[in-house]
């Protein structure tokens, strides 16, 4: 059977894309873990990161991988400022307000992009786009391999940041015990904004890593945000390991599903996983018990 011999290739391809999904989901799960809200602007902000990478390449000729150095810090500061002086101020301390504001921001960003950048799909043409690695049973596009390892590296760095630094510890403290955090002298509003900024920085990285093998238009983000949300639910809301493992599972599901059911139906598997998780393990794979 043809599809059996193609199975390993589909799995490896799924892993490659899963790493990017994990990166997007990591940002979402971090923001959820600390702020206890779903960031509905996640997809729109990923779209903005993709456009930033696109224009840095098309206008300034900066390679997307070099752009990481600009777009990631840029996304962090944008996210930080957006929360500190936008979302946080407008929310007046109510979580449900944050939810509505991020939803509103998503609409503003998407329509702003539509107005400024038009609805056309944009791609970039980098010399290495069609280079590939031969693993014997599969040819892997070079950009996907790079994005795979870069995503894993970023996940590892983020884990180190959270586990080893005072900033990371403060973020974890605020996630579980806001008042206790205030009483040891942590500026909670600052930590909220930091977490939001780091979450958006993950999107900045995802944008740079995606663009060489993907496209951007004002609604690109939506593809990813639904998948990222599924990953966060699958892995467990707020769980880092969950986001990583969930990313790989979803990447492989999509890729293998595509192999058997065709590209357009491949995503059925993702929805199926989403429903099954909600039915049988609502806390997710690595989520804590309620």
187-246: contacts with another protein (CB under 8 A):
187
Please report whether residue 162 would count as binding another protein according to CB under 8 A. no
Name the one range near another protein by CB under 8 A: 73-81, 112-120, 180-188, 240-248: 180-188
Asked if residue 166 binds another protein (CB under 8 A), the reply is: yes
Site string for another protein, 254-283 (x = CB under 8 A): ------------------------------
- Taking alpha carbons only, the member of 23, 36, 11, 16 closest to residue 208 is 23
The token pair that represents 76 in the structure block: 């962090």
Is there binding between residue 34 and another protein (CB under 8 A)?
Answer: no
Which residue, 131 or 177, is less far from another protein as judged by CB? 177
| CA neighbours closer than 13 Å in the CB half-sphere of residue 43 | 21
Of 2-10, 129-137, 173-181, 246-254, the window that binds another protein (rule: CB under 8 A) is 173-181
State the Cα–Cα distance between residues 228 and 42, nearest whole angstrom: 9
Q: What are phi and psi of 134, to 5 degrees?
A: -100, 110
Q: Nearer to another protein by C-beta: 30 or 72?
A: 30
- Measured CA to CA, the distance from residue 56 to residue 285 in angstroms comes to 39
Q: Which stretch binds another protein (CB under 8 A): 5-13, 135-143, 153-161, 166-174?
A: 166-174
**98 with 36: CB under 8 angstroms?**
no
CB atoms within 10 A of CB 279: 8
What residues form DSSP beta bridges with 133? Answer: 140
- Closest approach, Cβ 164 to another protein, in A, equals 10
| 181 scored as a contact of another protein (CB under 8 A) | yes
Q: Do 199 and 79 touch, CB atoms closer than 8 A?
A: yes
* Rounded distance between C-alpha atoms, residue 263 and residue 166, angstroms: 45
When binding is defined by CB under 8 A, the residue of 176, 261, 276, 282 that contacts another protein is: 176
Residue 209 in tokens: 């890593």
Instruction: Confirm or reject binding of residue 171 to another protein (CB under 8 A).
Output: no
Residue placing its CB nearer to another protein in the complex, 86 or 168: 168
Q: Which residues bind another protein (CB under 8 A)?
A: 166, 169-170, 172-173, 175-177, 179-187
């Amino acid at each position: 059977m043809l599809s059996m011999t193609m199975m390993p290739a589909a799995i490896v391809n799924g892993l490659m894309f899963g790493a990017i999904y994990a990166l997007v989901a990591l940002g979402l799960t971090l923001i959820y873990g600390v702020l206890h809200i779903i960031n509905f602007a996640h997809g729109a902000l990923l779209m903005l990161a993709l456009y930033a990478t696109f224009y840095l390449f098309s206008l300034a000729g900066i390679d997307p991988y070099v752009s990481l150095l600009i777009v990631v810090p840029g996304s962090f500061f944008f996210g930080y400022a957006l929360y500190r002086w936008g979302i946080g101020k407008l929310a007046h301390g109510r979580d449900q307000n944050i939810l509505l504001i991020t939803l509103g921001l998503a609409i503003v960003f998407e329509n702003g992009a539509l107005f400024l950048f038009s609805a056309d799909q944009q791609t970039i043409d980098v010399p290495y786009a069609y280079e590939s690695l031969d693993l014997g049973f599969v040819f892997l596009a070079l950009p996907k391999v790079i994005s795979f390892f870069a995503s894993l590296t970023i996940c590892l760095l983020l884990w180190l940041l959270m586990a080893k630094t005072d900033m990371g510890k403060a973020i974890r403290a605020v996630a579980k015990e806001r008042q206790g955090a205030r009483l040891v002298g942590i500026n909670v509003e600052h930590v909220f904004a930091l977490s939001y900024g780091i979450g958006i920085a993950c999107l900045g990285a995802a944008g740079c890593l995606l663009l060489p093998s993907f496209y951007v238009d004002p609604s690109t983000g939506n593809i990813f945000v639904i998948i990222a949300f599924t990953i966060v639910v699958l892995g467990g809301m707020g769980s880092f390991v969950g986001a990583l493992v969930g990313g790989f599972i979803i990447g492989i599901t999509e890729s293998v599903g595509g192999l058997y059911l065709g590209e357009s139906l491949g995503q059925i598997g993702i929805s199926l996983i989403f429903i099954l998780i909600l039915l049988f393990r609502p806390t997710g794979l690595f989520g804590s018990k309620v």
